[in-house]
Amino acid sequence: MTRLTPVAPVREAAGARPGSRIRRVLPGGVVAAVTLALPAFLDDSALTVYIFLGLAAMVTVGVSLLMGYAGQVSLGQGAFYAVGGYTAGILAVRGGPPLAGLLAAPVVAAAFAVVVGVPLLRLRGHHLAFATIATQLILLSLAGQLEFTGGDIGLQGIPRLGAGPYELGDASGYAYLTWAGVALVMLVTRNVIVSRPGRALRALATSETAAASSGVPVGRYKLVVFALSAAFAGLAGGIYAFYVGYVAPSSFPVLLSIEYIVMAVVGGLGTVWGAVVGAAAITLLVQGLNVIGTAPGMPSYAPSVLSYAVYAVVLIVVVLFLPGGLLPAVTARLRRER
Amino acid sequence: MTGPPTDGGTEPAQGGGPAEAARSGGTIEVAGLVVTYGSATALDHVTLSVRAGEMVALLGPNGAGKSTLANTLSGIVTPASGTARTGGRLAHIPEGRQLFPDLSVEDNLVLGGWRSRARDPSSVYDLLPRLAELRRRRAGVLSGGEQQMVAFGRALMSRPDVLVVDELSLGLAPMVTRDLAAHLVALNRERGLTVLLIEQNARLAFGVCERAYVLEAGRVVAEGPCAELAANPQVARAYLGGPIEEATP
Amino acid sequence: MREFLTYLVNGLAVGCGFALIASGLVAVHRVTGVVNFAQGMFAVVAGLSASWLLGVGLPHGVSEVAAVLIATMTGLLTGLIAIGRRGTTPQSSLIVTLGAGVLAYAVEIFVWGDQPRSFPGLPGSLTVAGVGVQRQHLLVIAATAVTFVLLSAFFGRTYLGKALSACASNPYAARVVGIDVTTMGLLAFAIGGLLGGVAGVLVTPLRPISFDSDVTLIVNGFAAAVFGALTRPVLALSGALLLGVAESLAAGYGYAAYQTEIALGLMLVIMVVQSTRRATVLEEST
């Protein structure tokens, strides 16, 4: 968990003045401390939100990396989430050690991304967007028919996560696990971004031709980022399966993939912290509206109408008016005022 | 916009003699024009004017801002400051022809009449009979000279008062250029069509225009009658391939 | 053989629905460069509207036409938010249309609820060459054929249609001659809404429609449009018919469960093959 501390905003890696380094690491440390302390103060339903927020953040960091750094739109990130969930679920249901299931989830998701990525990443822009959404639909349709995935009913009774005599029973345990996963994902992403290939990828997002002509192995880098983002989603899916205890095709609707896009766009594409902020902002907003929507006297359709409306309006407004995303817009304003 | 109304929709539709393709009396008035693309300044306080019935050249190397000026005049580029006004209806023959390659020659012409609501290309066919022969062909498959002729005809379809021609001669055989230039001069002399001729080929421009402006790096660096400019050693070296006296020792 | 013909007609009718969605995608994409993810939503709006209008007592015909008009307005509104703001890139516009699709979910559930709706189409069936064919299937095929003929006449013969083609052919040149490219883009979105609406009122009697049916419709429509590289309506039409027939045959001969896989797998293969070919062309030309 202490891993959260070194994860600082990307710019910090550019080797800034020593004073600014402290100033930039400090917020990260505060966030880490708050993240660690929170589960102790939350009740069970709030913990559930906290866990789902972390899972969404994990996937969104990958989406943000993919869209912001490799310039690729994936409308099928839910597919990798599903692969992770089913991998963990199938292994655990068949009596495999749960920990192995959890570790296999990101690995299998990444392997699946490599297999579909080799042909699909030849596609660009909207073609890739539709190809990824098609991949998810095919996957869901298959999962709904095949026996070993449990068909439409899905996999029930996935055992709790544990290793040897230790079993992760309560929600706060899953909260720690989830946020450890978030920290890991952020750390990996940060290291990718500041690495030499990461800087080359930044060029890729702006102009693929320019990047290719300057000798960047465009195809391989795209595939690596695609697989990495799939691994993040797979890890989140694995934790989801153990926490919720069942997975079914209906757990991974196409709308889920669109939610991740909304979160990534809101946070600001290509920013590690932005992805987490975006996931948090949207999750909390939808949760708040859900409370309003389920209040006594509200019609039964209120929660879904409110959440769809909020996703849509936030997405449209941010894309049109804050194309850099919420976090960069806010930090830019703070810096100007300072 | 000043000067005559730019909307020709109220005009009576007249039978199509060649002269119907153009009207007279347009002006160009550019004052303190600044155009920027991001942080780059394409035009830096450019001032120039073209009187009704004049034929004026605008010279300058690649990247001087000539096409930006043309695009600003036709309203495609918005100025950062200053004004670019045309009196009367303006037609613009853009650099590189810029036809509708998937459409037929006739459709290209007819769409040229979008502003004037002119739908009948017969006056253009009278002026440029070759286009009548090509009317059914797709514009994208024509030769460079034929494409420039379509671009010329398309501009005339709007029955302009002012014609801005961006790089008439670029990539064309000298004979084709001479032919098109002759049409331009005829429209200017006979109908008083105002012309701003943007050219890199200064010999052509000096041959047909009375006055010229020289644009370099977004600024007007020289202006005056063509004869004077041709005698200016700097202009001659840059645009006529060396001073005239050196060329003829 | 008789079964085969029945499946064929059924597949053609379903394919016609995809073809109308695809042609709307093509119209918008050609003029604006935007892939309109909300294209399937227009069909849903029209289908739900028609069923609602019939429910409140409007007669057939009036209800369907009104539903198509509602879809056309929806198309125009979608266009306004997707391309109305200057400087929106096609990629941003795609995401905005995605948002418009989700926004429509909220509106649709609010107005019509979240349950699937349908309405009866033409009743009864005909016997053609010894094969029983539902009248509604024939209506769908005939209406689609008429729509395509009108569409091609509009784009090829009318001045406004030519102006739209001009924007598709060379947007810069369109601005040079004074055509307002944004207005034309909005018109294209309205046409997209109209075509989606026609698809919606024709197909809803065949398979009930609910607010989230748009994903299936748009993905199949996109698959069809991809046959024509998103720019050729006729190729998109043949792609759509092929897709519809393939799905119908798959369903008819016992692979109903694998319809999605077959259709989408086909789309993926075509896109990848096209991109490979395009890459070769690019390499050769440089």
| Structural domain total, chain C | 1
- N-terminal to C-terminal alpha carbon distance within chain B: 50
Tell me which residue has tokens 């098609």. A134
Domain residue limits, chain B: 25-88+196-244
> CA nearest A127 in C: which residue?
C271
Residue C183 sits in a domain whose CATH number is 1.10.3470
Residue B2: which pLDDT band, with cuts at 50, 70 and 90?
very low
In this model, does residue B125 exceed pLDDT 90? yes
- Cα C37 from Cα C215, distance rounded (Å): 9
**pLDDT on residue C73:** 97
Looking at the complex, report in whole angstroms how far the Cα of residue B234 sits from the nearest Cα belonging to chain C.
34
Q: Over the stretch A175-189, which tens digit does the pLDDT of each residue have?
A: 888 999 999 999 999
| Whole-number average pLDDT of chain A | 82
In this model, does residue B229 exceed pLDDT 70? yes
**pLDDT on residue A43:** 80
Inspect the interface and report whether the beta carbons of C103 and A313 lie closer than 8 Å.
yes
Q: Over the stretch C2-18, which tens digit does the pLDDT of each residue have?
A: 788 888 888 999 999 99
Neighbours of chain B (3+ CB pairs under 8 A): C
CATH of domain B25-88+196-244: 3.40.50.300
HEC string of chain C?
CHHHHHHHHHHHHHHHHHHHHHHHHHHHHHHHCCCCCCHHHHHHHHHHHHHHHHHCCCCCCHHHHHHHHHHHHHHHHHHHHHHCCCCCCHHHHHHHHHHHHHHHHHHHHHHHCCCCECCCCCCCEEEECCEEEEHHHHHHHHHHHHHHHHHHHHHHHCHHHHHHHHHHHCHHHHHHCCCCHHHHHHHHHHHHHHHHHHHHHHHCCCCCECHHHHHHHHHHHHHHHHHCCCCCHHHHHHHHHHHHHHHHHHHHHHHHHHHHHHHHHHHHHHHHHHHHHHHHHHHHHC
Residues C210-216: what's their mean pLDDT? 89
Residue C95: which pLDDT band, with cuts at 50, 70 and 90?
confident
**pLDDT on residue A218:** 75
Lowest mean pLDDT among A165-169, B112-116, B185-189, C13-17: A165-169
What is the phi-psi region of residue C186: left when phi exceeds 0, alpha when psi lies from -120 to 50, beta otherwise? alpha
Residues C142-158: what's their mean pLDDT? 94
Q: Over the stretch A278-314, which tens digit does the pLDDT of each residue have?
A: 999 999 988 888 888 888 888 888 888 888 998 899 9
Looking at the complex, report in whole angstroms how far the Cα of residue A119 sits from the nearest Cα belonging to chain C.
6
Q: Please enumerate residues of B whose Cβ is less than 8 A from a Cβ of C.
A: 74-76, 92, 94, 98-103, 107, 110-112, 114-115, 119, 154, 158
> CA nearest C269 in A: which residue?
A119
Answer for the pair A68, A270: CB distance below 8 angstroms, yes or no: yes
C81 touches chain A (CB under 8 A): yes
Q: Single out the residue of B219, B245, B223, B243 nearest to residue B233, CA to CA.
A: B243
Looking at the complex, report in whole angstroms how far the Cα of residue B161 sits from the nearest Cα belonging to chain C.
14
In this model, does residue A16 exceed pLDDT 50? no
> CA nearest C173 in B: which residue?
B98
Global pTM value:
0.85
Answer for the pair A189, A264: CB distance below 8 angstroms, yes or no: no
Q: Over the stretch A105-142, which tens digit does the pLDDT of each residue have?
A: 999 999 999 999 999 988 877 888 889 989 999 999 89
**pLDDT on residue A326:** 74
> CA nearest B153 in C: which residue?
C177
In this model, does residue B128 exceed pLDDT 70? yes
Q: Which domain holds residue C49?
A: 2-285
For B227, what's the count of Cα atoms within 13 Å in the CB-facing half-sphere?
1
Which domains does chain A carry?
Answer: 2-253 (1.10.3470)
B20 vs B14, higher pLDDT: B20
Cβ contacts of residue C208 below 8 Å, gap of 6+? C116, C117, C118
Q: Please enumerate residues of C whose Cβ is less than 8 A from a Cβ of B.
A: 159, 162-163, 165-166, 168-170, 172-179
Q: Over the stretch B25-78, which tens digit does the pLDDT of each residue have?
A: 689 999 999 999 888 899 999 999 999 999 999 998 888 899 999 999 999 999
